[in-house]
Each structure stands twice: as structure tokens, then as C-alpha cells.
Amino acid sequence: MSSVVLNTLEDFYHLLSQSLNDNQMVKLLLSKYRGADKSLNRLSIRPITLQNEPVLSFVYEHQTNHITKNHSYAAALNEINQLVGEDFKSAYLTLSNVEVQIEFSKKGKLKISHHKAKQGQAVAATHNRQKNRFVDIQRPFLTALKVTDKQHKLIPAMSNKWKQINKFIEIFSQALEVSPHDKSTPLNVVDFGSGKGYLTFAIHDYLRHTLNNDAQVTGVELRQALADLCNEAAQTLDHQGLDFVCGDVKTHAPKQTDVMIALHACDVATDYAIHYGIRANASIIMCSPCCHKQIRPQMQSPELFQPMLQYGVHLGQQAEMVTDSLRALLLEANGYTTKVFEFISLEHTNKNKMILAVKKDKVNEKEQQQLLKQIADIKDYYGISDHCLETLLAESA
Ligand SMILES: C[S@@+](CC[C@H](N)C(=O)[O-])C[C@H]1O[C@@H](n2cnc3c(N)ncnc32)[C@H](O)[C@@H]1O
């Protein structure tokens, strides 16, 4: 790289663009900020992979918080072009084999210098993308929860959990992208039935460490021993803003909640959790229901279905489909865009269905009336008198 010619800003942008194509970029730091936002100190830019796409992650370092925005390479290069020399009077680009410094004097005169990169940057560039997966396998919480060993190697028995954690964070990040929540303000998250805390720690770590969001995350767990265990780990690891309380989703006192999670909460615990999320006007509701006992004994299927339903497994599947469809439709009727899908393949676990709901900006009253009629018709068809979530919503209306 000693043959690099760097005389103009165009040379610099060309080098930067080339380094992205060759996967050689490590970091770009913009400093000496002279723009309008008095709280902004500097901007740190790194290549990462999001949803299998390479992007540049911009971390705006303010006096009291950090704000992250991710851009495609093309959009990022355009943005950097606008910022260097205008808002930021200094730029420091680290590539695998060269480091470049740009300075603008008070009179706007450009000075560019470059020198050989320190050893180790090549390795950093090669591993950059790998390290920036949704969940970094090196994170200490994974070791504390015994997903990885002390050398941060995956413990083979935990490989299904590891896949689930990653998929969960991937889905959450996509939901957050489209949710109406202002990403620059701290998120309040509640995780009902947090169990051993795998997902609670993961979402807290993702928000605080990856997105630099000062999130407050609470795990609510029926079993005191599990809440104690998780609190101990959160304190040892110094996970600020993460706590676990012993409590029941059915009686948990409402508080401001932007994200409601309930993964594998048994039977009607899922209905109580969704009800909590709707009442709290949460921007994101994520649940993975398990055991569908409430509806099954009430269901009266038409004669035509009997040859199919003589096989017990189909009775269970039908109850599950109807229960979760009614939950999804009730969420839609309460102003959420809702998806129901398998979130990891069946080979990893048999509890694989997710109901994901993201708050809409506006509600359409006509659509809501239609949805309520559809819900009533389905209940009528199957002779269902009581659906837990519907009853809870009616009681709190
Ligand atoms: C199958 S575990 C799931 C743990 C975690 N959400 C996960 O997916 O890894 C379900 C957890 O919910 C807890 N639980 C069951 N009913 C609950 C309730 N009514 N309120 C709070 N927690 C509950 C159980 O004690 C258990 O730890």
C-alpha cells in the first residue's frame, strides 16, 4: 500500500470504496465536529453484516448516549461524502494494511497523510463481519449462561439454544426497524416466563452493546430460584438496566413497556402476556405460544371433519391453529400488523411458532369491525364460548 497515491478527497473516496469491495476496511472515525448538533462528539463507522447483507454501521457518539444507524454501502459512501470536510474536519480511516488521516485547517485547506497499518488490522478486517453477527459468540453472558465454555466455544448440547437465540434477535431487530418506536430513546422491555434468561440476556446485550440503546429489560419469572440465579449473573456481568423479578404474568403490575416478549409461556400465560402488551401499548409484541389447552375442550367441529379428527394429533393441531389465529386476529383488531410463522425449523425444537405483532401508525376502524366479525364467526363455527385473550380484552375495555 506504500504505492497508494492520496492527494485529493476523490483519491480517499476511491480507496474507501475499494476497501469495502475487498473487505479490507476496519474502521472510519470522523472527528472535529463543527455541525449544528452541539451534543455530538464524533462518528465511528464500521462494516458489519445485518440480515446477511453487508452494511456500514454508523455510531453517532453523543455526550450522553450513542445512536446507531446502518446504511447500505452505496448510501453510506454518499453520506460520508457529505460529512467529511463539512461537519467533520478530521477523518481517520483504518484499513487492513494502511491508515489514512485527513485534516481540514480552519481555512479549509486539506492535508492527507498515510502510513502502514499496525499489525493485527488485517486480522481485524478479515473477522470484522464474522464478529458482527446478531449475537457475538464471544459475549460474556453466553459463558455465564453455559451456552459457551470459558474459551467462548459453543457447548455442543446448547447448539439448539444458540440457534434459537440468534434467530430471536434477528427477528427482533427486523421488527424494531419497522416499529414506530423512536430508536434513539431507551427501550423498556419485559420478558414474561424468562426462565433461565437466555433470551432476556440476549435482547439486553443486543440493545445495550450492539445498538447502544440504554434499554431497561426486566425478566418476569414464576420461579424465585430462577429469578435469583439470573439476577446474580446480571450483577456479576455488570449488565446495567437488566433485572429479574419473581412474578406471575397474570398479576404483574403494568408499567411502561415498548417491547413485550413471552416465549414458551404455557397455555393462557401467552394470552395474559399479549393482553399486558396491548394494554401497555407496546410497539412490539413477540410470543411463541406453547400448550393450547383452553380452547380444545370447547371446540365442536363439523361432522365432515370427524374422519380427520379421529386422529388425536389433528385435534391438537386444530386447537393450536384456532387458538393462535384468534390471538393474531385480536392483535390485528387492536392496531397491530401481525405475522404468524415458524421461527426456527422443527429439527431444533418442536416449540417453533411465533406470533409477532408490530404497532401500526394508524388504525382503520372499518377494518377493525371486519376483524371483530371474523373473530366472532370463527368462534361461532367452532362453538367456542370463551377465548382467554378476548375475555381479558373485554374485561379491561
Ligand atoms: C419453557 S420456559 C421458557 C423460558 C424462556 N422464555 C425461553 O424461551 O427460553 C417457561 C417459563 O415460564 C415460567 N412461567 C410459567 N408460567 C408463568 C407465569 N404465569 N408467569 C411467569 N412465568 C411463568 C416457567 O416457570 C418457566 O421458567
Instruction: Pull the grid cell for residue 241.
Output: 438496566
- For residue 235, being part of any structural domain is answered with yes
Residue 130 banded pLDDT, cuts 50, 70, 90: very low
Same domain, 239 and 277: yes
CB atoms inside a 10 Å sphere around CB 29 = 18
| 353 vs 339: CA distance, rounded Å | 10
Within this chain, do residues 21 and 76 fall inside the same structural domain, yes or no?
A: yes
Look up cell 430513546; give the residue.
185
Q: Same domain for 251 and 329?
A: yes
Q: What is the pLDDT of residue 94?
A: 93
- Mean pLDDT of all residues in 135-145: 92
Report the pLDDT value the prediction gives residue 52, as an integer from 0 to 100.
66
pLDDT given for residue 69 in this prediction: 86
CA 220 to centroid of ligand 1, rounded, Å: 8
Neighbours of 341 (CB within 10 A): 10
DSSP per-residue letters across 291-335: --TTTGGG----GGGHHHHTSHHHHHHHHHHHHHHHHHHHHHHTT
Asked which of 69, 96, 131 is the last residue of a domain, the reply is 131
- Could you report the per-residue pLDDT of 310-350, keeping only the tens digit for each? 998 998 899 999 999 999 999 999 999 999 998 875 555 56
Pocket test for ligand 1, best of 192, 199, 260 (most atoms within 8 A of CB): 192
Does residue 4 sit within a domain?
A: no
Please, what is the average pLDDT of the chain? 89
**Enclosing domain of residue 93:** 9-131
Q: Kindly report, residue by residue over 181-235, the tens digit of the pLDDT.
A: 888 899 999 999 999 999 999 999 999 988 889 999 999 999 999 999 999 999 9
Give me the sheet containing 259-266, strands edge to edge: 242-246, 216-221, 188-192, 259-266, 284-290, 353-359, 336-342
Residue ending a domain, choose from 79, 108, 131: 131
Cα within 13 Å of Cα(382), Cβ side: 22
Looking up residue 186, the CATH number of its domain turns out to be 3.40.50.150
Question: Is residue 262 over pLDDT 80?
Answer: yes
Q: How far is the CA of 216 from the centre of ligand 1 (A)?
A: 20
Note whether 91 and 169 are same-domain residues: no
Residue 270 lies in a domain: yes
Residues 297 and 152 in one domain: yes
226 and 127 housed in the same domain: no
Angle between helices 159-178 and 198-205 (to 10 degrees): 50
Give percent above pLDDT 70 in the chain. 93
Q: Which cell goes with 219?
A: 425478566
Three cell numbers at 133? 453477527
Is residue 161 domain-shared with residue 241, that is, in the same domain?
yes
Query: What is the pLDDT at residue 347?
Result: 53
- pLDDT tens digits, 384-394: 999 999 999 99
Mean pLDDT to the nearest integer, 147-161: 91
Which of 74, 106, 131 is a domain's end point?
Answer: 131
Is 220 within the bounds of a domain? yes
Residues 153 and 74 both lie in one domain: no
Pocket probe for ligand 1: among 194, 230, 259, 286, the residue whose CB has the most ligand atoms within 8 Å is 194
Residue 95 inside a domain? The answer is yes
In terms of domains, do 246 and 383 share one?
yes
Residues ≥6 apart with Cβ < 8 Å to 260? 189, 190, 192, 273, 274, 276, 277, 280, 282, 284, 285, 286, 287
Whether residues 122 and 243 fall in one domain: no
Cβ atoms within 10 Å, residue 326: 22
Beta-bridge mates of residue 43: 30, 60
| Domain count within the chain | 2
Model confidence at 131: pLDDT above 50? no
What is the arithmetic mean of pLDDT over 66-73? 85
Domain match, 259 and 384 both: yes
What is the CB < 6 Å shell around ligand 1? 192-195, 198-199, 220-223, 226, 248-250, 263-266, 269
Does residue 246 sit within a domain?
yes
Q: From CA 119, how far away is CA 97, in angstroms rounded? A: 8
**388 and 244 share a domain?**
yes
The protein residue with its alpha carbon nearest to ligand 1, atom 2, reads 195
Q: Give me the count of residues in the chain.
A: 397
